[in-house]
């Protein structure tokens, strides 16, 4: 049952949700993309053929998943892979690795979250721990990441970090001020993580002169992807 549900969610994500986003992004003439929280390359696969000039900088901290990314894109020149977590501090931090790797996070689950309980039920871990182990990963701010890799322009900044989105934005003050055109970011609409507040994330972006231009709600699940555009 768990396998069927997981495959169904993955199918909806790839052939419905990501396609809707891709159809919207295709008009943006993207060249330079930073993919924060690349996981297994789901977003990369959806945009890689959007144009021939596309260059992607992809950051993924999980060792096992990063190795899969390396194997998958070893012959793809337009993709640059980095084993790190983008955050608000430079250093190291413990990442909680979960049974379903796409839900691994720095954040703690909110025990009272109805969505968390539903999620664990769907993954067949309800009443048990979905946690596997801790992995100490390297963290770097977005500003330092861009400076280190000589990234002077970002057409699209994509962020999907399972509750760590605010910290990503906090570490990118300079980049958000004058280098970024669009931000694609995942919003959790339920309080699945402790100390997570999507209204605060929205406020940070608006204070940086970004305007919300599109929402993509995932069918029957409590999250959506939002696209913000820089206003001059």
pLDDT digits (tens, 9 = 90+) for 100-153: 788 899 988 777 777 666 666 666 554 455 778 999 999 999 999 999 999 999
Give the per-residue pLDDT at 1: 58
pLDDT at 204 over 90: yes
Confidence class of residue 219 from pLDDT cuts 50, 70 and 90?
confident
Q: In terms of Cα–Cα distance, which of 72, 56, 74 is closest to 149? A: 56
Give the per-residue pLDDT at 123: 60
Identify the weakest region by mean pLDDT among 8-12, 60-64, 118-122: 118-122
Confidence class of residue 2 from pLDDT cuts 50, 70 and 90?
low
Is the CB of residue 228 less than 8 Å from the CB of residue 201?
no
Class of domain 2-230: alpha beta
Q: pTM, whole model, 2 decimals?
A: 0.92
Helix (H) or strand (E) holding 137: strand 131-141
Confidence class of residue 31 from pLDDT cuts 50, 70 and 90?
very high
Is the CB of residue 139 less than 8 Å from the CB of residue 113?
no
Give the per-residue pLDDT at 116: 66
CA distance from start to end of the chain: 50
Give the per-residue pLDDT at 127: 47
Give the residue-averaged pLDDT of 185-192.
Answer: 86
- Domains of the chain by residue range: 2-230
Give the residue-averaged pLDDT of 86-95.
Answer: 98
């Amino acid at each position: 049952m768990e396998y069927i549900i997981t495959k169904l969610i993955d199918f909806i994500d790839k052939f419905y949700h990501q396609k809707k986003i891709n159809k919207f992004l295709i008009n943006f003439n993207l060249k330079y993309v930073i993919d924060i929280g690349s996981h297994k390359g789901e977003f990369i696969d959806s945009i890689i053929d959007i144009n021939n000039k596309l260059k992607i900088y992809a950051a993924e901290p999980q060792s096992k998943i990063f190795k899969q990314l390396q194997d998958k894109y070893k012959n793809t020149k337009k993709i640059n892979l980095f084993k790190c977590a983008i955050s608000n501090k430079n250093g190291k931090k413990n990442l909680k690795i979960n049974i379903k790797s796409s839900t691994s996070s720095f954040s703690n689950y909110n025990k009272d979250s109805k969505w968390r309980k539903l999620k664990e039920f769907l993954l067949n871990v309800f009443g048990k721990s979905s946690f596997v182990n801790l992995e100490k990963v390297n963290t770097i701010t977005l500003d330092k990441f861009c400076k280190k890799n000589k990234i002077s322009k970002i057409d699209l900044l994509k962020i999907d970090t399972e509750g760590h989105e605010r910290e990503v934005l906090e570490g990118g003050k300079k980049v958000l001020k004058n280098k970024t055109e669009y931000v694609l970011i995942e919003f959790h609409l339920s309080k699945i993580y402790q100390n997570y507040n999507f209204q605060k994330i929205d406020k940070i972006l608006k204070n940086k002169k970004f305007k919300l231009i599109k929402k993509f709600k995932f069918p029957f699940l409590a999250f959506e992807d939002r696209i913000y555009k820089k206003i001059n």
